[in-house]
Amino acid sequence: MKYNDLLVKLKLLVILNLVIFVQFSVNAQENKYRPLSSKEVQEQFELGKKALGKDDYVMAITHFDACIREDPYFKDAYFSRAMAKESLDDLEGALLDYNILLHMQPDLREALFSRGVLRYKQEQYEYALPDFENLLELPTGETQAVFFQLSSSNSGIGSISTMETMQAEIQNYLGLTNTKLERYPQAIAHFNKAININNRNPDYLVNRGMAKEGIRDFNGAEDDYQKAIQLNPDHSLAKYNLSLIAGESLSGFESIDFYSDIIDSDPSFHQAYVQRGLAKFNLNDMQGALSDFNKALSLEPDNIVALFNRGLTREKLNELETAKQDFTSVLSLDPNHERALLSRANISVKFKAYQEAIHDYDQAIDRNPTYALAFYNRGVAKFNLKQKTEACLDMSMALKLGMTNAAETYKRMCQ
């Protein structure tokens, strides 16, 4: 047994013993607590399941807590409480419950699958992978639990309960996890197995298509997206990925119509708003672009592409303060975003805050020493501060890096 695995098991044992100790201590306070009978514990569990079924997750957890307080080895209560915690986005609490449960019964299929999915959602791909791999080693048999799977577009959930569908989902998650780890051939092999089990699920085809893009098999990816659309004509992610492969083949207005069609079929698909906003920006429809970027950010506030392009759009609309705020937001998410540094510096120039602009140009050049436009713009800012020698050096560097239109500015400033 690996040292880290042993350490995890010891921690879980300590936690479990602590749970038991706390329950014993509480039970000892006779004036404050009356122990529940076995029948009452089961009644609490049934009440918890009913609350879970009504999406009253807080109440469900209260009932499951009562079960575990009385019986720290109540496996079903841990599993159900973990599902309720996930629904409340308490992912760490859910993971702890799954860990305790699997410490008690390492081969519990339902908990192993759920923990693997949870770890995948938390981007703990190296930990999710062995959970799914271990599931393949367990003996087959009907599962008693109902699980929930996200569709590729994250637009809805569907339950899975039969062993056949669960095997397909295990292969699907193995493919997804390997894709995130950039192990594309292994991912494709797992998606192939999922599709062999269930060839009517368009998500599996879309997921395989994305893995094929990872090995630059764009023809194969396009074929998978087309097949997915045949199974589900409204599959937003299949349409979106297909449009990205098509690329320049769509004109501006065709592109707007295409993404509008995707939005009509899935109004929560934020990527489509981003792409439609870009198409409108390129057609100089700045208000339309701004509206789409706003909508995308209402659905995914940390979308860097939407934030950056909203900044560019606001700059075009002469909304300089809010544009600068957008570029600052981009840099808070990605400090190495050189175009955001350049764009924020350009706005500082418009405010005649030349020293502030030069600082951002410096940062952009530090990240990309061949950034000709940053050298050119920094030269202009330095010239405005009457730093002619330094300005001319920047203009000369911009010329050397291939920015031919810097020649005229160099003559005007430096000769």
The residue-averaged pLDDT of 32-58 equals 89
For 388-406, the pLDDT digits (tens) are: 999 999 999 999 999 998 8
Rounded to whole angstroms, the Cα distance separating 149 from 158 reads 6
State the pLDDT at residue 9: 53
pLDDT tens string 302-318: 999 999 999 999 999 99
Q: What pLDDT was estimated at residue 4?
A: 52
Higher pLDDT, 363 or 152: 363
Do 275 and 288 meet the contact criterion of CB atoms below 8 Å apart?
Answer: no
pLDDT for the residue numbered 141: 58
When computed from its CA atoms, the radius of gyration of the chain, rounded to whole angstroms, is 28
CA distance linking residue 245 with residue 243, whole number of Å: 5
> Which pTM value belongs to this model?
0.69
What lies within 8 Å, CB to CB, of 172 at 6+ separation is: 190, 191, 194, 203, 204, 207
Q: Are 319 and 310 in contact (CB under 8 A)?
A: no
Q: What is the pLDDT of residue 150?
A: 47
Whether 237 and 152 have beta carbons less than 8 Å apart is answered as: yes
Return all residues near 317 (Cβ < 8 A) that are at least 6 apart: 286, 287, 290
Q: What is the C-alpha separation between 148 and 277, in angstroms, rounded? A: 33
Q: Residue 26: pLDDT band by 50, 70, 90 thresholds?
A: very low
Residue 65 has pLDDT above 50, yes or no: yes
What does the pLDDT read at residue 118?
Answer: 96
Tell me, what's the pLDDT at 30? 43
**pLDDT on residue 246:** 72
Residue 116: which residues within 8 A CB-CB, separation 6 or more? 128, 131, 132, 135, 173
Q: What is the pLDDT of residue 139?
A: 76
pLDDT confidence of residue 156: 38
pLDDT 10s digits, 252-274: 677 888 889 889 988 999 999 99
Mean pLDDT of 323-340: 97
User: Each residue of 268-301: b (16+ CB within 10 Å) or e?
Assistant: ebbbbbbbbbbbbbeeebbebbbbbbebbbeebe
Give 216's pLDDT tier (boundaries 50, 70, 90): very high
DSSP 248: G
pLDDT computed for residue 186 by the predictor: 97
Q: Is 147 helix (H, G, I), strand (E, B) or coil?
A: strand
Domains of the chain: 1-105 (1.25.40.10), 335-415 (1.25.40.10)
Using pLDDT thresholds of 50, 70 and 90, give the confidence band for residue 223. very high
Residue 249 above 80 pLDDT?
A: no
Per-residue confidence (pLDDT) for residue 405, from 0 to 100: 87
Q: Say which amino acid occupies 17.
A: N
Assign 15 a pLDDT band (cuts: 50, 70, 90).
Answer: low
Cβ atoms 70, 41 nearer than 8 A: yes
- The predicted pLDDT at position 143 comes to 53
pLDDT at 243: 83
Separation of alpha carbons 381 and 396, rounded Å: 15
The per-residue pLDDT of the chain, averaged, comes to 87
> Contacts from 172-177 at CB under 8 Å and sequence distance 24+?
172/203, 172/204, 172/207, 173/116, 173/117, 173/120, 173/128, 173/132, 174/129, 174/132, 174/133, 175/204, 175/207, 175/208, 175/211, 176/120, 176/207, 177/120, 177/125, 177/128, 177/129, 177/132
Mean pLDDT of 347-351: 96
For range 155-166, the mean pLDDT? 56
The per-residue pLDDT for range 88-144, each reduced to its tens digit, is: 999 999 999 999 999 999 999 999 999 999 999 999 999 999 999 999 988 765 555
- Helix spans in 268-337 (H): 270-282, 286-299, 304-316, 320-333
